[in-house]
Amino acid sequence: MLRKKKIISNKILKIIYQHDYTKRTIISLYKYFKIHNPIILLDFIKIELKKYDVLGRIYIATEGINVQISTPDIYMKNVIYFFKNLNIHLKNICINYSIVNRSMAFWKLQIKIRKQLVANNIHDIPILTDSFKNYLNAFQVNKCFFDKNTIFVDIRNHYEYEIGHFHRSLEIPSNTFREQLDKLPIFLRLYQNKKIVLYCTGGIRCEKAAALLKKYKFKNIYQIYGGILSYINQTKTYNLPMYFKGKLFVFDSRMAERITNDVVSICKNCQNITDSMHINCLNNVCHRLFIQCEKCSRKLKSYCSKRCLNFS
């Protein structure tokens, strides 16, 4: 199908939206379900969302849809109605509202066809229907913290876990989702008889992790409904105790959003607790993303190690 030529350059679009003071809210939603023709769906969504001046990014795959968009508040109801009626599988979809609204998070609408919603290159994980899943709301999650037979498992990368996570949760140390899925069944073998609660930022990675564990015959798998984002919003709305400690890693220039005053991150060099942000090692060959306290940062000039400092 022929696509319209770009009329306005990205640079100009960015400037336009920098000076646009429309009140907007960022929402996200996702669902794994069979989509037979992603291209037709893409065109339909594009035409509809243009009417509401929606910005952001949407990924469509034959395995489902993943949406993160900034919507003008005046059209919020229309946009949510649109998605809920787009497909029978989206009828009761969980809508996650961003904890903090960044006015400049998006300045155009990008809809892309992807092979997978969250790249992991494992293609034999079945899509589970909702009746096979156990979702927990924030009330139920908080109850689980008092149950000795429950373990919380973080389904995020190491750099996300190290700045904030659920109290006493288990980390599956990995730098990619693929690496984590590979390790997951082995790591959790010891806990097969426990109630296993999976969580990630918005819940999408847990959908795959839960389906994988079911394939490996794990029985007591639970997921936090809407992930950490929904948990935080619910604890605020209902004034519940908050068991997520520290900062939440976010995928934009701020990198992290403080949730509680607890500091859980550790300096990679001296192992002391530090509230410093992630930095990339200045050695371009290394470029490792890591946490360094101010003292070590002065000593190593923001390189991750003496080796990187000396070799660059």
**Got the DSSP string for 238-258?**
TT----EEEEEE-SSTT-EEE
**Rule CB under 5 A: which of 120-159 touch Zn ion?**
none
Residue 180 interacts with Zn ion (CB under 5 A): yes or no: no
Residue 281 interacts with Zn ion (CB under 5 A): yes or no: yes
Report the residue number, 141 or 308, with the smaller CB distance to Zn ion. Answer: 308
Q: How far apart are CA 39 and CA 17, in angstroms?
A: 27
Q: Taking contact as CB under 5 A, which single stretch among the options 138-146, 167-175, 245-253, 276-284 is the one that binds Zn ion?
A: 276-284
Cβ-count burial of 9 within 10 angstroms (0-12 exposed, 13-18 middle, 19+ buried)? Answer: exposed
| Shortest Å, Cβ 303 to Zn ion | 6
| Shortest Å, Cβ 50 to Zn ion | 44
Report the residue number, 94 or 286, with the smaller CB distance to Zn ion. Answer: 286
**How does 78-97 read in b/e, with b if 16+ C-beta sit within 10 Å?**
ebeebbeebeebbeebbebe
Interface with Zn ion (CB under 5 A), residue from 31, 269, 291, 300 = 269
Three-state DSSP class for residue 4: coil
Pairing of strands 96-97, 135-136: unpaired
> Looking at the DSSP assignment, which residues form a beta bridge with residue 171?
154
Q: How far apart are CA 133 and CA 222, in angstroms?
A: 7
Could you give the string, one character per residue 213-252, with x where binding to Zn ion holds by CB under 5 A and - elsewhere?
----------------------------------------
Q: Taking contact as CB under 5 A, which single stretch among the options 62-70, 158-166, 178-186, 291-299 is the one that binds Zn ion?
A: 291-299
| Shortest Å, Cβ 158 to Zn ion | 16
Q: Taking contact as CB under 5 A, which single stretch among the options 134-142, 143-151, 158-166, 285-293 is the one that binds Zn ion?
A: 285-293
Residue 308 interacts with Zn ion (CB under 5 A): yes or no: yes
Among candidate residues 42, 88, 46, 45, the one with its CA nearest the CA of residue 62 = 42
Interface with Zn ion (CB under 5 A), residue from 184, 188, 221, 296 = 296
CA distances from 99 to 81, 86, 202 (A): 21, 26, 11
Among candidate residues 55, 118, 32, 44, the one with its CA nearest the CA of residue 82 = 44
Residue 283 interacts with Zn ion (CB under 5 A): yes or no: yes
Q: Taking contact as CB under 5 A, which single stretch among the options 1-9, 185-193, 204-212, 287-295 is the one that binds Zn ion?
A: 287-295
What are the tokens at 109? 């609408």
Contact in structure between 206 and 133 (CB atoms under 8 Å): no
Report the residue number, 93 or 282, with the smaller CB distance to Zn ion. Answer: 282
Instruction: List, by residue number, the catalytic residues.
Output: 200
Residue 300 interacts with Zn ion (CB under 5 A): yes or no: no
Report the residue number, 15 or 270, with the smaller CB distance to Zn ion. Answer: 270
| Shortest Å, Cβ 304 to Zn ion | 3
Residue 212 interacts with Zn ion (CB under 5 A): yes or no: no
Interface with Zn ion (CB under 5 A), residue from 100, 270, 273, 277 = 270
Residue 58 interacts with Zn ion (CB under 5 A): yes or no: no
Cβ count near 268 (within 10 Å): 18
Residue 267 interacts with Zn ion (CB under 5 A): yes or no: yes
Give the ranges where the chain is alpha helix by DSSP (H): 10-18, 38-50, 76-84, 138-144, 158-161, 177-187, 204-215, 227-237, 294-300, 306-311
**What phi, psi does 263 have (nearest 5°)?**
-110, 115
Residues that bind Zn ion (CB under 5 A): 267, 269-270, 281, 283, 286, 288, 293, 296, 304, 308
